[in-house]
A = this chain, B = another copy of it.
Amino acid sequence: MNLDDLRTEAERRLDPVHRDFFAGGAGDERTLRANETAFDAYRILPRVLRGGGARDLRITLFGDELALPVLASPTAFHRLAHPDGELACARAVAAAGTVMVVSMAATTPIEAVAAATDAERRRARLWFQLYPQPDLGFTESVIRRAEAAGCQALVVTGDSPVFGWRERDLRNGFLDLPSGLWCENMRDPQTGTVRNIVMDDRLDWARIDWLREITRLPVVLKGVLHPADARLAVEHGVDAVLVSNHGGRQLDGVPASIDALPAVVDAVEGRVPVLLDGGVRRGTDILTALAFGAVAVGVGRPVVWGLAARGEAGVRQVFDWLRADLARAMTLAGAVRPADLTPDLILPGAAG
């Protein structure tokens, strides 16, 4: 019926500690809640009698065509949600014709994720999420693995100079992956051991410049909320900006992603694509973000819900349902293509 059905099923199946890990946010979880409720405060002013027949949801990103303007945002530890983990997710996303942003904290190596979709002759579209590590050599080795596996972009997380204060995990004592699961993309090429991901409080724009020197992959900067940072990102040659608050998991009290989007779009002035994740649950949420100028949105928790509830089939359901719901919303709003969604379709308004 809607994604809440999968959420409910997933929460029933998950170990409560893991459920809290996926569901929780930082501090009082104000931003976590705001991500979802903020969409409700906007009102859509639909256009009528615009005809157009079947909708065309395709968009182009970095020269590549996606079947719909919805990506799988990076989420950690898929094998906590389902034994098939990232493989199931990658197959479902490939079938949906869109992009999976594979997490640096994946519990499956990037090479295996890539192979899972190649093997079935679906066209894999993988981007790789990176926490740049203080050890530059190791960071470079991880990027080389991602490149070799065929990843098509680097998504650099900028909002995590330290871990967020996630009280659910602290109360639950959830600190480590259970036995047998590892962050496989952190495996040291020399020693074969798995390193811990370091949150680097020295990370700065110079590291972005360095990344752009050592790789030809497009760089997406994830975690931008302040328009001044969006301008800096463009000046530093970033190829896309992802408006995100890390699912409300880093600094509680920051705006809902959708509330931060318009000022970032203004600051970017069309020079690079703007993406958004955070609280996207309905076709109308996607429509709102696109009308404000996002090229595509990411979904994080819904992918985990699908995965936890039904593995690959569940993730397929997530994208199938969002595709249908977006097509319906666009039809009812009089838009044939994503490009028809313009800011005049959105009104600020009281939450209903």
Contact = CB atoms under 8 A, between A and B. Distances in A.
Contacts of A250: 332
A87 to B, nearest CB: 32
B1 A167 contact: yes
Nearest to A165: B328
A217 interface: no
A27 B288 CA distance: 15
A45 B226 contact: yes
A89 to B, nearest CB: 26
B203 A51 contact: yes
A309 B322 CA distance: 39
B204 A51 contact: yes
A175 interface: no
Contacts of A37: 352
A314 to B, nearest CB: 19
Interface of A: 1-2, 27-28, 30-31, 33-34, 37-54, 158-159, 161-162, 164-165, 167, 170-171, 201-208, 221, 223-226, 228-229, 232, 250-256, 259-260, 282, 284, 288, 325, 328-329, 331-334, 344-345, 347, 349-352
20 contacts: A1-B170, A2-B27, A27-B284, A30-B351, A31-B352, A41-B350, A42-B253, A46-B159, A46-B226, A47-B228, A48-B224, A48-B229, A49-B204, A49-B208, A49-B232, A51-B204, A54-B201, A165-B328, A251-B332, A252-B284
> Closest 3 CB pairs between A and B?
A51-B204, A34-B352, A48-B158
